[in-house]
Chains A and B, each alone.
Chain A
Amino acid sequence: MDFELTDDQLELQRTVRDVLDREAPASLARDIAEGSGSADELWATLTSLDWPALCLPESVGGLGRGWVELAVLLEEMGRHVAPGPFAATAAQFAPTVRHAGTPDQQERFLAPVAAAGATGTLAVDEGAGTWDLDQIGASATRDGDSLVLSGIKCFVVDGATAEEIAVVVRIDGGLRVVVVPGEAVVARELDPIDATTRHATIDLEDVRVDSDRLLVGSDSDDAVVRAVQEATVGTAASTLGACQRILELNLDHARERRQFGVPIGSFQAVKHKMADMYCLIERARVLVYFAALVFDSDDDRRVIATSMAKAGAGECQQRCVRDGLQLFGGIGYTWEHELHLFLRRAKIGELHFGSSSSHRRRITRCAMSAL
Chain B
Amino acid sequence: MRLDYDDETETFRAQFVTWLEANLPDPALTVDRPTSSADIPAWARQFQRRMFDDGWLSPAFPPELGGRNASLFEQMVYLEELGRRHVTRSFNPQGLGIVSATIVSFGSDDQIRDWAVPIMRAEKTAALGMSEPDAGSDLAALATRAVLDGDQFVVNGQKVWTSGAHDADVLLVFVRTNPDVPKHKGISALIVETDTPGLERRPFPDLGGPDHTDFNEVFFDDVLVPSTNLVGELNDGWRICNGALAHERAMLWVMWSQSLDNMLDDVLEALRNTPHADDDVVLDGLGRSIMDSHAIRLLGYRQLAKQQRGLLPAEQSILKLMGSEAQRDLASLALETLGAAALDQTIDTTVRFPYETDRGAVSWSDRYLFTFAGTISGGTSEIQRNIVAERVLDLPRG
A, B: real partners: yes
Tell me the chain A residues, 86-134 only, with Cβ under 8 Å from chain B: none
Within 8 A of A (CB), among B361-398: 382, 384-386, 388-390, 392-398
Which residues of chain B from 58 to 100 have any CB-CB distance to chain A below 8 Å in the complex? Answer: 73, 76
Question: Is B283 interfacial (CB-CB < 8 Å)?
Answer: yes
The distance from the CB of B273 to the nearest CB of chain A, in whole angstroms, is: 12
Query: What are the residues of chain A within 8 A of B385 when measuring CB–CB?
Result: 268, 271-272, 275-276
Contacts A272-B389, A278-B318 known; A293 to B269 CB distance under 8 Å? no
Are the CB atoms of B1 and A275 closer together than 8 Å? no
Once A4-B306, A262-B396, A283-B322 are accepted as A-B contacts, the answer to whether A368 and B291 lie under 8 Å apart by CB is no
Task: Tell whether, in the assembled complex, residue A279 and residue B290 are in contact, meaning their CB atoms are under 8 Å apart.
Answer: no
Q: Are A1 and B73 in contact (CB under 8 A)?
A: yes
Q: Which of B73, B271, B291, B318 contacts A360, CB < 8 Å?
A: B291
In this assembly, does B277 line the interface, its C-beta being within 8 Å of a C-beta of chain A?
Answer: yes
Also in contact, A368 and B388, with CB within 8 A (given A5-B1, A262-B396)? no
Give every chain B residue within 8 A of A265 (Cβ-Cβ): 389, 395-396
**Does the CB pair B1–A3 fall under 8 Å?**
yes
Is B298 in contact with A290, judged by CB distance below 8 angstroms? yes
Q: CA–CA, A307 to B292, complex, Å?
A: 13
Is B5's CB within 8 Å of the partner chain A?
yes
Given contacts A275-B388, A297-B2, A308-B291, contact A255 B286 (CB under 8 A): no
A266 nearest in chain B by CB position: B398
| A254 beta carbon closer than 8 Å to chain B | yes
B271: chain A residues at CB < 8 Å are 368
CB within 8 Å of B: which A285-316 residues: 286-287, 289-290, 292-294, 297, 299, 304, 307-308, 311-312, 315
A328 → chain B closest CB, angstroms: 15
B198 within 8 A of A: no
Cα-based distance from A358 to B199 in the complex (angstroms): 59
- In whole angstroms, what is the CA distance A287 to B305 when docked? 16
Q: 1/0 per residue A343-365: CB within 8 Å of B?
A: 00000000000000101111111
Which B residues are in CB contact (< 8 Å) with A297? Answer: 2-4
* Residues of A with C-beta under 8 A to B322: 279, 283
B280 at interface by CB-CB < 8 Å: yes
> Is there an interface contact between B302 and A4, defined as CB atoms closer than 8 Å?
yes
Q: How far is the CA of A6 from the CA of B305 in the complex (A)?
A: 10
Say yes or no: is B268 at the interface (Cβ < 8 Å to chain A).
Answer: yes
Report the Cα distance A290→B288, complex, angstroms.
Answer: 16
Residue from the set B2, B291, B322 with the largest chain A CB neighbour count within 10 Å: B291
Contact yes or no, A3 B301, CB < 8 A: yes
- Find residues 1-56 in chain A having any chain B CB closer than 8 Å to their own CB: 1-6, 9
For the complex, what is the distance from the CA of A279 to the CA of B385, rounded to whole Å? 10
Once the chains are docked, how many angstroms separate the CA of A2 from the CA of B309?
10
Interface residues on A, range: 35 or more
Complex CA distance for A365 and B286, rounded to whole angstroms: 10
Chain A residues contacting B295 (CB-CB under 8 Å) are 282-283, 286-287, 308, 312
Residues of B within 8 A of A290 (CB): 294, 298
Q: Closest Cβ of chain B: how far from A310's Cβ, in Å? A: 10
Q: Nearest-CB distance from B326 to chain A (Å)?
A: 10
Given A3-B1, A271-B386, A293-B3: A266 touches B291 (CB 8 Å cut-off) = no
Indicate whether A263 reaches chain B with its CB closer than 8 angstroms: yes
- Over the window 199-234 of chain A, the binary record of Cβ atoms lying under 8 Å from chain B Cβ atoms (1 yes, 0 no) is 000000000000000000000000000000000000
Report the minimum CB–CB distance from B153 to chain A (whole Å).
37
Q: In the complex, which residue of chain B has the Cβ closest to the Cβ of A287?
A: B295
Complex interface: chain B residues within 8 A of A5 (CB): 1
B321 within 8 A of A: yes
Does B133 lie at the interface of the complex (its beta carbon under 8 Å from any beta carbon of A)? no
Query: Which chain B residues border A4 with CB–CB below 8 Å?
Result: 1, 302, 305-306, 309
B395 touches A254 (CB 8 A): yes
| Bound Cα distance from A278 to B395, whole angstroms | 13
Bound CA span A57–B371, Å: 49
Structural contact, B1 and A271, CB atoms closer than 8 A: no
In the assembled complex, A68 has its CB within 8 A of some CB on chain B: yes
Q: Are B291 and A279 in contact (CB under 8 A)?
A: no
Judge whether A3 and B287 touch: CB under 8 Å: no
Complex-state Cα separation, A276 to B268, whole angstroms: 27
Within 8 Å of chain B (Cβ to Cβ): is A267?
yes
User: Which residue of the partner chain, among A272, A282, A299, A311, contacts B291 with CB atoms under 8 Å?
Assistant: A311
- Within the complex, which residue of A2, A270, A304, A367 is in contact with B305, where a contact is CB–CB below 8 Å? A2
Residues of the A chain whose Cβ atoms lie less than 8 Å from the Cβ of B73: 1
User: Does A251 reach chain B (CB closer than 8 Å)?
Assistant: yes
Pair B302/A3 contact, Cβ less than 8 Å:
yes
Q: Smallest CB-CB separation from A3: which chain B residue?
A: B301
Q: Is B299 an interface residue, CB under 8 A from the partner?
A: yes
Q: Is B132 an interface residue (CB 8 A)?
A: no
Contact B287 A9, beta carbon cutoff 8 Å: no
Question: What 5 pairs between A and B have smallest CB-CB spacing?
Answer: A360-B287, A271-B389, A4-B305, A3-B301, A286-B298
Between-chain CB contacts (< 8 Å), 30 pairs: A1-B9, A2-B308, A3-B298, A9-B1, A68-B1, A251-B393, A251-B395, A254-B395, A255-B396, A263-B395, A268-B385, A271-B385, A272-B389, A274-B389, A274-B395, A275-B388, A278-B388, A283-B322, A287-B294, A290-B298, A307-B287, A359-B287, A360-B291, A361-B280, A363-B286, A364-B268, A364-B290, A367-B264, A367-B286, A368-B277
Binding site for A on B (CB under 8 A): 1-5, 9, 73, 76, 264-265, 268-269, 271-272, 277, 280, 282-288, 290-292, 294-295, 298-299, 301-302, 304-306, 308-309, 315, 318, 321-322, 382, 384-386, 388-390, 392-398
Task: Beyond A279-B321, A357-B280, A367-B268, list 14 extra A-B contacts (CB 8 Å).
Answer: A1-B2, A1-B304, A3-B305, A5-B1, A271-B390, A274-B395, A275-B384, A276-B385, A287-B294, A289-B1, A304-B290, A360-B283, A363-B290, A371-B268
